Amino acid sequence: MVTGENSAASQSETLIARIRSGERAAEEELVTLYRRPIFAIAAARTGDREAARDLTQEVLIAVLKAARNGQVRESEKLPAFIQGTARNLINNYFRSRVRRAESTLEAAGTLSSDPVGELEAAERRRLVQEELRSYSVLDQQILLFSLVDGHSLVEVAERLKMSHEAVRARKSRLVRKITKKFDRLSQK
Amino acid sequence: MDCQAINREELAEKYVHHRLDAAQVDEFETHLLECPMCARELELLQAMQTDLAERAHEIRGWTASKPHFFRWQVAVLAGIVVVVATASLAVRWQKMQSASVTAPPPPHANLPIGETMAKEHEANPAGEPVKPEGPQTLSPNREKQVAQANSPTQIQNLTINPHDHAELKRENPSTAGQGGPPVKPAGANGVNSTAQNASSSAVKVDGGEQADQSVNAVRDQQQVSAVIAQPAAGTAKTQVQLTAEQGVELYRVGAVEAPPFTFAGFAAHAKPPKGGRSSTYSGKAGAADSGRVLFHDGMNAYIDARYHDASGYLRSALKYEPSAADVNFYLGVCRILDGHPAESIPALKIAIAAGNSPYLQSAHYYLGKAYVQEMNLEGAEMEFREATGLPGQLSTDAKAMLARVVALREQIEKNKQ
């Protein structure tokens, strides 16, 4: 694990160094690497996909800007730097609730659109929907009550007049099943 | 933070429900940026959440089907029932055929049903049961006529022979205003249906000799047996006489329409405070959050007119918010609409006790309705009077109900005298 972490840290260092030296491909690599998790974080924090899309772009631009200007001091801790940037920008968004003006950064053009990524994301969502709809009523209710309503498994069991153990087993089976399927799709 | 701990502690789920503290959030998010697998799992969770949330109303409305292994058994049983029913019908039809061939037709077999029964009435004015004389006692033709005479007008034309009339009344209780045992118009079930329905099916009257007169005319002349609660005496009840018209009026006054409900300004589940910083959010959904979620579910069922289900959710919500005016009010309304007015009374009283809530007038009004259905007219009068004196959209309705209840009470007093 330590070796893996070291390897990831050295990759980050290399990436930052390449960006700083003005290598365009390195910037694209960073964007490809971090766009999806940043979007997931922004979506989870804001609950608004549109806002999350804009915020993802803002975070990437800010990170690239910092990398170009040599402001990423501990380059081996790039993920932590990105997380901090994302957190600050999302908090700013909540404070102002006003979308920021478009950046004039040169790289903005390459970041603004990712049609392939968007299509892939839409396809993944469609497949998840299809999979969920194939589940039984009870299974969908278990997932709804726990994943959307945020009820604990005990509360779900009480509402559905089932044992806690049965609800736990069902939910865990469903999540495992869909994760497996989703993993296969993501690797395609 | 590692992937195993994330899976074991279901941190992704806690994260999307804002149940992690600020430090855990930072750590989890940093891990997401380092670990594509966990990031994918979070994406999946979000995709599932989105789809389920979009169809939440639909999914909540579903009733879980029986386990799979029951389905073929049900199909087999249904098949057996169909076969047996078909066989018995065939046998019966064969018997009827052979009876009509071997026996001469009854004397009035070819007359219209009214005339047939008139002739029978002439032959048997006392209405004594006619003993069967072989298979032709009730010819297939006659049996068919009786079986087909289900509409009120047909039945009114068929009321010559008291014996037959009694049979027909059993066949079609909705027109049986002239016989049968007296039933107290307790109003618990069927009050929400139309007044016409209530007057015909739930109220049955004593006596009933004038069978050939129209149903309404007979109703006006006859007395309804009713049990009126004496609120001062607690549970003691007194038998009083109401005319059928008064009984109908009682049901009309007790009829309830579901008050509207909108989800305006309602949060489906706990959300972090504005600013989005999880550090100020405790993470765990509090009692009020759980109560609101259950109330929300209850009102979803209420909107779908599933008042029984709604009552269940609202009762659960009361565990978290026992004195919430809205929960108690809608629980009371649901109990009335579900046919249990007595159970609505405590909830509506709590809604009233909550004081100056938006539900105050409505709670008085619906409590009045519950009292009417429970035959507690004195209580109903008090509640409608209260509702009349309060601001709200129900003032006019409450006034009208008050006048009708007062008039009814006066009539009942006259009946007693």
By 3-state DSSP, what share of chain B in percent is helix, strand and coil, each rounded to 5?
65, 5, 35
Q: Which of A154-158, B59-63, B144-148, B161-165 has the highest mean pLDDT?
A: A154-158
Q: Which of B30, B52, B63 sits opposite A80 (nearest CB)?
A: B30
Q: Name the nearest CA neighbour of B25 among A49, A83, A169, A21.
A: A83
B50 touches chain A (CB under 8 A): yes
**Contact yes or no for A182 and B271 at CB 8 A:** no
Q: What is the pLDDT of residue A6?
A: 62
Interface of B with A in 87-126 (CB under 8 A): none
Averaged pLDDT, B32-54: 86
CA distance A103 to A110: 12
What's the farthest any 2 CA atoms get from each other in chain A? 63
CB spacing of A144 vs B52 below 8 angstroms: yes
Residues of B in contact with A80 (CB under 8 A): 30
Nearest CB neighbour to B33, from listed A83, A95, A143 = A83
Instruction: Flag whether pLDDT at B207 surpasses 60.
Output: no
Q: Do B41 and A179 touch (CB under 8 A)?
A: yes
Distance (Å, rounded) from C-alpha B226 to C-alpha B242?
Answer: 6
Of B40, B55, B270, the CB nearest to A183: B40
Tell me the per-residue pLDDT of A31-84, one tens digit each, with 9 for 90 and over.
988 988 999 999 888 888 888 888 999 999 999 988 888 888 777 788 899 999
**Residue B198 tokens, joined:** 């209530």
Which helix (H) or strand (E) covers residue B353, if one does?
helix B341-353
Residue A39 to residues A45, A59, B253, B279, Cα–Cα distance (Å): 10, 10, 59, 21
Residue contacts between A and B (CB atoms, under 8 Å): 122
Instruction: For residue A123, give the chain B residue with the closest CA.
Output: B47
CB contact under 8 A, B52 and A143: yes
Q: Is residue B247 within 8 Å of residue B203, measured between CB atoms?
A: yes
The share of chain A scoring above pLDDT 70, in percent, equals 83
The CATH architecture of the domain made up of A2-101 is Orthogonal Bundle (1.10)
Is B182 in a helix, a strand, or coil? coil
What interface predicted TM-score (ipTM) does this complex get? Answer: 0.83
Q: Which amino acid is at B6?
A: I
Are the beta carbons of A38 and B33 separated by less than 8 Å?
yes
As a dihedral over the C-alpha atoms of residue B128, residue B134, residue B135, residue B141, rounded to 10 degrees, the angle is -50
List Cα–Cα distances, B14 to A30, A97, B11, B53, B309, in angstroms.
28, 25, 5, 17, 29
Strand, coil or helix: B204: strand
Chain-centre distance for alpha carbon B67: 27
Smallest CA–CA distance, residue B306 to chain A, in Å, is 16
Q: What is the CA radius of gyration of chain A?
A: 20
Inter-chain touch A47–B53, beta carbons under 8 Å = no
| pLDDT, tens only, B326-375 | 899 999 999 998 888 998 999 999 999 988 888 889 999 999 999 988 88
Phi, psi of B239 (to 5 degrees): -80, 120
pLDDT confidence band for B306 (50 / 70 / 90): confident
- Quick check: B174 and B194 in contact, CB under 8 A? no
B183 strand-pairing partners: B204
Backbone φ, ψ for residue A90 (5° rounding): -65, -40
Q: Provide, rounded to the nearest whole percent, the portion of chain B with pLDDT above 70.
A: 56
Work out the average pLDDT over B174-197: 37
Higher per-residue pLDDT: B91 or B115: B91
Domain boundaries, chain B: 3-52
B32 contacts A37? CB cut-off 8 A: yes
In chain A, the N- to C-terminal Cα span, in Å, equals 26
Quote the CA–CA distance of A88 and B82 in Å, as a whole number. 70
User: Three-state SS for B205?
Assistant: strand
Which residue among B32, B55, B277 places its CB closest to the CB of A91? B277
Domain residue extents for chain A: 2-101, 117-187
CB contact under 8 A, A137 and B63: yes
CA angle B21, B22, B25 (to 5 degrees): 85
Over residues B160-169, the mean pLDDT reads 38
Is the CB of residue B60 less than 8 Å away from at least one CB of chain A?
yes
Higher pLDDT, B30 or A1: B30
Q: Which of B29, B41, B64 sits opposite A83 (nearest CB)?
A: B29
Q: Kindly report the three-state secondary structure assignment for every residue of B223-286.
A: EEEEEEECHHHCCCEEEEEEEHHHHHHHHHHHCCCCCCCCCCCCCCCCCCCCCCCHHHCCCCCC
Task: Determine whether domain A117-187 maps to CATH 1.10.10.10.
Answer: yes
Which pLDDT score, from 0 to 100, does residue B254 have?
A: 87
Query: Cβ A141–B40 below 8 Å, yes or no?
Result: no
